[in-house]
Structure 1
Amino acid sequence: METEIELKFFVSPEFSNQLLRVIAEAKILQQSSRILGNTYFDTPDQILRQHDIGLRIRRFDDVFVQTLKTAGRVVAGLHQRPEYNAETNGTDPDLFLHPADAWPESVNVALVQQQLNPLFSTDFERQQWLIAMPDGSQIEVAFDQGEVSTNGKTDSICEVELELKSGQTDALFTLARELCAEGGMRLGNLSKAARGYRLAAGYDGDEVKALPFVAVNGQESIETVFVNTLEHALAHWHYHEQIYVECQDQEALHQISQALALIRQALVVFGGLIPRRASALLRQELHWLEGELDWLEEAASITHLLAEKGQVLKKLNMRKSLQKQLQIRFAALPEKDDILRLLTSARYCGLLLDLSRWILSRGWQPFLDDKARIKLAGSIKPFADGVLSRSWDELLDVFPSQRVLNRIDYFDQQPRLLRNLMSGTCFAELYDEDKRAAFRMPWLDLLRGIEDLRQLESVRTLVEQYDDDDRKQLEKWLSRKEESLIHAMDQTRQMGVELIPYWP
């Protein structure tokens, strides 16, 4: 068995020129070009896929190699999977070529063997270079161009893969950083096999999902939960990046923003044990990306106001004029092509690479003293109780029941409320589900209320463009909407502050 460690990138055919320029400056140990044909197999009910297992037979130069890949780990394009290879005499798979301990206990290998059928194929040309890195590591660089095909359907392949053959994982990130210096690369979380399964199933893409709670249990250490939280957010981010690339769903960008918020909050929550200087450069780049996406709130507001031919504005005399002005504002916001360029930019790719490297190498460890290391090894539950208690005290301080809040007050405290809810996302699974849900519900409602209140700001900025009568009508309309929302939000806030916390 070998553990395959590689970085995958989606690129365009034109990227080959950029790739060759970087490789020309490297120390090349070997170089080759091959036409590779691969057939992937599974049972009718896809038992292998259910266990995150891939089975293929690869053909090259009249040699047939059967490969079994079992469940592994993917962190923003870095794939780590156990791999078993065996030469075979033909195109029919033989599962017994691989060791018995390669299979999960729940898999009946003999039964699976009887039911195997070819599912899809991948055929591509692979240009390949074995590179010697300055630290002594050896990395195989592959540039693949071809297609995935099944039942008359095809999907193009154009990818770069960096596989660590020997040495340190850090060398992969060093070379990847050099390759992405001019942009044009996007970290890939979908393998060729995953794309083949999707094509075979007629599956167009994934659905946008709300950010789920981090999986955590009371036996884990503080550091383990910190790592799991970052990987959880990164997986959510990368999942929705792929959705946006495929169908340009703006809600997918909103979920990327949610993932960024969780990463930023994790750095704050665990910041008492991990010095800020350990993540200074990452926080700087995360802040940059948040700035690149800060238009999303306005876009959502305008989309809401213009929905169903502007029904929200239907009672206003200047409705058509407002619609036109809002459409102009919307047209000035970043377009799909702008976002796609961002997602393949050198800075964006570099941020994902640096974040992945930081997580995998435990980049904070050199900044810790012995006392901090001991604390990080401690149990998560007391730590979580303390974090949530402090966060709750802060929330009570800014949202006291007796205080009268206007729209600006609510806007000012929106980031604090979001951070509080994100802290809960980190540790939610440690606590009783019903108590937790009941406690979080009014605060989630309050956050949605603030978001609804912000939707009016796109109209508020246009008030001064109108003459007296129209301006007065618009101001009165805004005032009624604002009063109604704030009244509901005040009631929700009152409910929230009276609840008993779900943590000890």
Structure 2
Amino acid sequence: MDTEIELKFLVTSDVGSRLPALLQSYQISEHDQQHLANTYFDTADLALGSIKAGLRIRSQNGKMEQTVKLAGSQVGGLHQRPEYNVPLTVHSPDLSLFSASIWPEKFNVERVQQSLQPLFSTDFLRQRWLITIEDTDIELALDAGEVQSGFQREAIHELELELVKGDVSQLFELADELVKAGGLRLGAISKAQRGYRLAGFGTSPKLQMLEPLALTSADHCEQTMMALLHKGLHHWQHHEEGWLAESGERLDWLMQLREGVSLVHQTLLLFREQVSHRVNSGWIDDLLWLQQQFSWLDRAQMLAYLTADKGHYLRRLDCQSSVLSLLEAQQQQLPDEAQLEALFYSARYGRLMLGLTHWLYRQDWRAGLVPEQTAQLAAPIVDLAQQRLNESWHVLRHSALGEPSLNGERYIQQKGKLRRNLMVGLCFSTLYQEAEHIGFRMPWLDILRGIEDLDMLSPLEDVREQLDATEGAELELWLARKQKFLLEALEQSRTQALQLQPYWK
């Protein structure tokens, strides 16, 4: 058995032509090109897929080999899976050639063997380099081809870096050098997963709301920090993949991607005493930079709502047609699909994702700990939760949201602060009684929605000055009525929310 440790990247079409120059400074022990044809097998009821196993037969230079990969682990784009290989003389899988000990208990090998059928294939040209760095060997494989199931096809443009032997840190260092050149994006799904989807046996990514992490009072700080970071990274990557796979209106995917990034950022801040001096100082800057790259999403969401159903929201305005035309012109100024794809394949984005993956894999926050810090990591999470919730509540009470009265502009300025406060509550919510937590949280969520509704009028404020005098006056009066109604509702919700007693006391 081998344990496969590899980084998977999806790459732009120009990476192949640039790669030889990028590798010139490295010691290349081997370099070749191979045509690989692979057929993947499973039963109609996905007996192998249900245990997260994959079975394939690979044909290469007239030789055949069957491989089974069992359930492993994944962090970011780093994949680790047990792998078993057996040579074949005929193109037909034979599970009996594998040791019976590799299968889970109660897995019926004979029944599965009798029901195996081909599901899909992958056919690609692989350029391979074996690179030696000190005592470490890394196989770098650039694959170009396609996944096929029946008449369904999907292109393959991938780069894999597999640790053959040695130090996994060298794997990341080589990857970082390649990512610096741009055009690489860490891949969370394998060729096999793509094939299952293409064959109709795997579901396409589904939009997911960010749910709280299940915690208990027995959980300690380090365990919770790791779980929150993994959850945030998974949510982030899931919606990145979903956005790229979907077509048409995809704003909700990007909003949830941003939620995942925010959870990672917030977690690093919540556990700042444990990680602050062991996290690359550029990380926080990069996370802030990435969130800034998506700062336009709020405006895009507002415009999408205002222009939906041919401007139904504006139906009572005589100047509806003029306003709608100006709003649609604003939409044309938003980042387009090509700009977003360029972001996902950019060097800074790739290095941030790669650095976070490496840090989580190595658990670098443990390096150089003094006894006091080790004790902090092992302490119950409930103590830190109460401390952070108290801090967050103090900040909120002493912000503009705690002032006697606010105008619309002041409310809108508090949107980011309130979102961060609610994220802190979400991180620790399952440590407390659900009814108490929800009872405290709901009024503040109502306030956030009210602020978002108020902010949704901002694009209309911008277009008002572009209308003629008559239409501008009509829109101004309409906006004043809307703002008055929303501010009254916000003030009622805020009065109620500020009287609530914290549930974590």
**Both structures adopt the same fold (TM-score exceeding 0.5):** yes
Cα distance change, pair 220–136 in 1 and its aligned pair in 2 (3 A): farther
**1:247 partnered with 2:246:** yes
Which letter maps to 2:69? K
Q: Give the TM-score taking structure 2 as reference length.
A: 0.93
Q: Give me the whole-angstrom Cα distance separating, in 2, the residues matched to 1:157 and 1:402.
A: 57
| Cα distance, 1:466 vs structure 2 | 4.1
Q: Give me the whole-angstrom Cα distance separating, in 2, the residues matched to 1:110 and 1:369.
A: 54
Q: Give me the whole-angstrom Cα distance separating, in 2, the residues matched to 1:432 and 1:108.
A: 43
Indicate conservation of the 8 Å contact 2:401/2:414, yes or no. Answer: no
1:350-397 Cα shifts (integer Å, max 9, x gaps): 111112122222333447543222201222222223322332343344
SS at match of 1:444: helix
**Match in the other structure for 1:354:** 355
Q: Give me the whole-angstrom Cα distance separating, in 1, the residues matched to 2:504 and 2:100.
A: 46
Matches within 5 A, 1:352-501: 352-366=353-367, 368-398=369-399, 403-501=404-502
Matches within 5 A, 1:160-179: 160-179=159-178
Q: Give me the whole-angstrom Cα distance separating, in 2, the residues matched to 1:101 and 1:219.
A: 35
1:401-428 Cα shifts (integer Å, max 9, x gaps): 7822222232232222211221122223
**Match in the other structure for 1:209:** 208
Which letter maps to 2:208? K
Indicate conservation of the 8 Å contact 1:162/1:172, yes or no. Answer: yes
Cα distance change, pair 370–136 in 1 and its aligned pair in 2 (3 A): same
Q: Give me the whole-angstrom Cα distance separating, in 2, the residues matched to 1:105 and 1:481.
A: 64
Matches within 5 A, 1:77-156: 77-133=77-133, 135-156=134-155
SS at match of 2:154: strand
Q: Give me the whole-angstrom Cα distance separating, in 2, the residues matched to 1:438 and 1:317.
A: 42
Q: Give me the whole-angstrom Cα distance separating, in 1, the residues matched to 2:160 and 2:263.
A: 29
Q: Give me the whole-angstrom Cα distance separating, in 1, the residues matched to 2:84 and 2:436.
A: 47
Which letter maps to 1:93? P
| Cα distance, 1:202 vs structure 2 | 7.3
Which letter maps to 1:87? P
**Match in the other structure for 2:37:** 37
1:187-229 Cα shifts (integer Å, max 9, x gaps): 1111010011001007683222112223444433211211221
Q: In terms of mean alpha carbon deviation, does 115-124 or 440-449 score higher?
A: 440-449
Cα distance change, pair 478–437 in 1 and its aligned pair in 2 (3 A): same
**1:234 partnered with 2:242:** no
SS at match of 2:126: strand
Which letter maps to 1:489? L
Which letter maps to 2:116? L
| Cα distance, 1:502 vs structure 2 | 4.2
Q: In terms of mean alpha carbon deviation, does 421-430 or 121-130 score higher?
A: 421-430
Which letter maps to 2:164? K
Q: Give me the whole-angstrom Cα distance separating, in 2, the residues matched to 1:43 and 1:342.
A: 40
SS at match of 1:177: helix
**Match in the other structure for 2:180:** 181
Which letter maps to 1:193? A
Which letter maps to 1:219? A
| Cα distance, 1:37 vs structure 2 | 1.8
| Cα distance, 1:253 vs structure 2 | 1.3
Indicate conservation of the 8 Å contact 1:439/1:496, yes or no. Answer: yes
Q: In terms of mean alpha carbon deviation, does 235-244 or 416-425 score higher?
A: 416-425
Matches within 5 A, 1:313-324: 313-324=314-325
Q: Give me the whole-angstrom Cα distance separating, in 2, the residues matched to 1:80 and 1:347.
A: 25
Q: Which runs of 5+ in 2 are unaligned?
A: none
Which letter maps to 1:136? D
The count of aligned residue pairs is: 503
Matches within 5 A, 1:279-358: 279-358=280-359
Q: Give me the whole-angstrom Cα distance separating, in 2, the residues matched to 1:102 and 1:157.
A: 30
**1:23 partnered with 2:14:** no
Indicate conservation of the 8 Å contact 2:66/2:88, yes or no. Answer: yes
**Match in the other structure for 2:5:** 5
1:57-112 Cα shifts (integer Å, max 9, x gaps): 22223332222212222222111112222223333223233333422235333332
Q: Give me the whole-angstrom Cα distance separating, in 2, the residues matched to 1:47 and 1:424.
A: 40
Indicate conservation of the 8 Å contact 2:322/2:467, yes or no. Answer: no
